Amino acid sequence: MFSPHTPTEKEEMLRAIGVQSIEDLFQDVPKAHRFPSLKLPPPLMEMEALAEMQNFADGNETCRDLISFLGAGAYHHYIPAAVDAIIRRGEFYTAYTPYQPEISQGTLQAIFEYQSLIAALTGMEVCNASHYDGATAVAEAVNMAVAHFRGKRTGIVISPSLNPQYTETVQTYTRNSTLALTGFELDPFSSPDSLLPLINTNTALVIVQYPDFLGRLFDYRKLIEAAHQSGALVCVAINPIALGLLTPPGEFGADIVTGEGQPLGIPLSFGGPYLGLFATKLEFVRKMAGRLVGETVDIDGRRGYVLTLTAREQHIRREKATSNICTNQGLMALASAVYLSLLGRQGLRELAELCYHKAHYTMQRITELPGFTLKDPQPFFNEFVIHCPTSAETINAHLLEHGILGGLALSQAYPNRPGMENLLMIAVTEMNSRDDIEALASALAEVSHD
What is the pairing mode between strands 233-238 and 203-210?
parallel
Q: Which is nearer to another protein, 50 or 225 (CB)?
A: 50
Q: Which is nearer to another protein, 434 or 449 (CB)?
A: 434
Q: Which is nearer to another protein, 109 or 202 (CB)?
A: 109
Q: Determine the angle formed by the axes of helices 434-449 and 330-367, rounding to 10 degrees.
A: 50
Q: How many CB atoms lie within 10 A of CB 363?
A: 21
Q: Which is nearer to another protein, 375 or 430 (CB)?
A: 430
Radius of gyration over every alpha carbon of the chain, rounded to an integer in angstroms: 25
Region near another protein per CB under 8 A, out of 153-161, 193-201, 229-237, 305-313 = 305-313
255 binds another protein (CB under 8 A): no
Question: Residue 230 CB, nearest distance to another protein (Å)?
Answer: 25
Q: Quote the DSSP letter at residue 202.
A: T
> Is the four-CA dihedral 217, 391, 393, 188 of positive or negative sign?
positive
Whether 238 and 279 have beta carbons less than 8 Å apart is answered as no
296 binds another protein (CB under 8 A): yes
Question: Residue 187 CB, nearest distance to another protein (Å)?
Answer: 22
Helix/strand/coil for 299:
coil
* Contact with another protein (CB under 8 A) among 357, 368, 419, 442: 357
Output b/e per residue, 15-51; b: 16+ Cβ within 10 A.
eeeeeeeeeeeeeeeeeeeeeeeeeeeeeeeeeeeee
442 binds another protein (CB under 8 A): no
Q: Is 228 exposed, middle or buried (0-12, 13-18, 19+ CB in 10 A)?
A: middle
272 binds another protein (CB under 8 A): yes
Positions 69 through 108 that interact with another protein (CB under 8 A): 70, 72-74, 76, 78, 80, 82, 84-86, 88-107
7 binds another protein (CB under 8 A): no
* Contact with another protein (CB under 8 A) among 176, 377, 416, 418: 176
Q: Which is nearer to another protein, 232 or 404 (CB)?
A: 404
Positions 112 through 171 that interact with another protein (CB under 8 A): 112-113, 115-117, 119-121, 125-127, 129-130, 132-136, 143, 163, 165-166, 168-169, 171
The string of DSSP letters for 79-95 reads --HHHHHHHT-HHHHT-
Q: Which is nearer to another protein, 76 or 148 (CB)?
A: 76
Phi-psi label, residue 243: left if phi above 0, alpha if psi -120 to 50, beta otherwise: alpha
Whether 338 and 83 have beta carbons less than 8 Å apart is answered as yes
Q: Quote the DSSP letter at residue 401.
A: H
Q: Which is nearer to another protein, 187 or 298 (CB)?
A: 298
368 binds another protein (CB under 8 A): no
Number of residues located near another protein, criterion CB under 8 A:
207
Question: Residue 402 CB, nearest distance to another protein (Å)?
Answer: 13
DSSP H helices in 178-240:
221-229
251 binds another protein (CB under 8 A): yes
Question: Residue 74 CB, nearest distance to another protein (Å)?
Answer: 6
Q: Which is nearer to another protein, 280 or 422 (CB)?
A: 280
CA end-to-end span of the chain, whole Å? 60
222 binds another protein (CB under 8 A): no
Nearest one of 21, 51, 68 to 408, comparing CA atoms? 68
Positions 316 through 335 that interact with another protein (CB under 8 A): 316-321, 323-332, 334
418 binds another protein (CB under 8 A): no
416 binds another protein (CB under 8 A): no
Using alpha carbons only, give the angle 86, 76, 53 rounded to the nearest 5 degrees: 70
Q: Which is nearer to another protein, 209 or 328 (CB)?
A: 328
Whether 441 and 365 have beta carbons less than 8 Å apart is answered as yes
Whether 84 and 338 have beta carbons less than 8 Å apart is answered as no
Q: Which is nearer to another protein, 272 or 371 (CB)?
A: 272
314 binds another protein (CB under 8 A): yes
